C-alpha cells in the first residue's frame, strides 16, 4: 500500500501553515502543533529535518520558530516527502540498485515504472502554494486521520513478579 507517512503529513501541514502566515515572522513548532492538534515532539523533529534539508530556516530569539527558506511556489510535495522519508519506491526494482530477484522474468516492471514515474510527477507538480489554497476543512480531516488511534494494537500486560517463598 502506498501511504504518506505521519512525518511527511506533518511536514506538509507545517509548510502549508508557514506559507499562509507572514514569512518573515514564521511560527514555532508549539504554535503549529497546537493549531493542528499534532504531537509536539514529533513535529519538532520534522521541522528540524526540513531545516537541515534547506526547506525551512530557523528564526532565533524569544519569538523564534521556523519560516520557509524559499518561495512556496518553488517547494513541491515531493520535495517535502523526499526530505523527510527519502526516496519514494513503489517496488523493489525502483530502488537505487534497480533489481529484484525476479527482474529477468518480470512482466510488470514496465507498467509499474510508468505508475512510479506518474506518482513522482504528480507529487513534484503539487506546490505548497496549491496546498495553501486548499480549504481548511480538508486539513482538519487530515489531522483527524493522523491523530486517530491505531486499531488492533496489541496490549502488553506485565506479569506480576513471583513471590519469594
- Number of domains composing the chain: 1
pLDDT digits (tens, 9 = 90+) for 139-157: 554 444 444 444 443 444 4
Residue range of the domain that includes 15: 6-86+127-147
pTM listed for this prediction: 0.75
State the Cα–Cα distance between residues 99 and 105, nearest whole angstrom.
11
Percent of the chain with pLDDT over 70: 72
pLDDT digits (tens, 9 = 90+) for 38-50: 999 999 999 999 9
Percent of the chain with pLDDT over 90: 47
29 assigned to some structural domain: yes
121 assigned to some structural domain: no
Please state the φ and ψ torsions of residue 40, each to the nearest 5 degrees. Answer: -60, -45
- C-alpha cell recorded at residue 48: 528540524
93 assigned to some structural domain: no
**The predicted structure's pLDDT at residue 121:** 93
Amino acid at each position: 500500500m502506498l501511504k504518506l507517512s505521519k512525518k511527511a503529513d506533518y511536514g506538509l501541514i507545517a509548510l502549508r501553515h508557514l506559507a499562509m502566515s507572514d514569512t518573515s515572522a514564521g511560527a514555532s513548532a508549539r504554535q503549529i502543533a497546537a493549531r493542528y492538534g499534532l504531537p509536539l515532539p514529533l513535529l519538532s523533529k520534522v521541522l528540524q529535518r526540513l531545516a537541515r534539508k534547506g526547506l525551512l530556516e530557523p528564526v532565533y530569539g524569544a519569538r523564534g520558530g521556523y519560516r520557509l527558506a524559499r518561495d512556496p511556489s518553488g517547494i513541491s510535495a515531493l520535495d517535502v516527502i523526499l526530505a523527510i522519508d527519502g526516496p519514494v519506491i513503489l517496488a523493489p526494482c525502483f530502488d537505487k540498485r534497480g533489481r529484484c530477484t525476479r527482474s529477468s522474468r518480470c512482466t510488470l516492471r514496465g507498467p509499474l515504472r510508468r505508475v512510479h514515474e506518474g506518482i513522482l510527477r504528480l507529487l513534484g507538480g503539487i506546490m505548497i502554494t496549491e496546498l495553501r489554497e486548499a480549504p481548511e476543512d480538508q486539513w482538519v480531516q487530515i489531522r483527524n486521520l493522523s491523530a486517530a488511534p491505531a486499531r488492533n494494537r496489541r496490549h502488553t500486560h506485565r506479569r506480576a513478579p513471583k513471590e519469594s517463598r
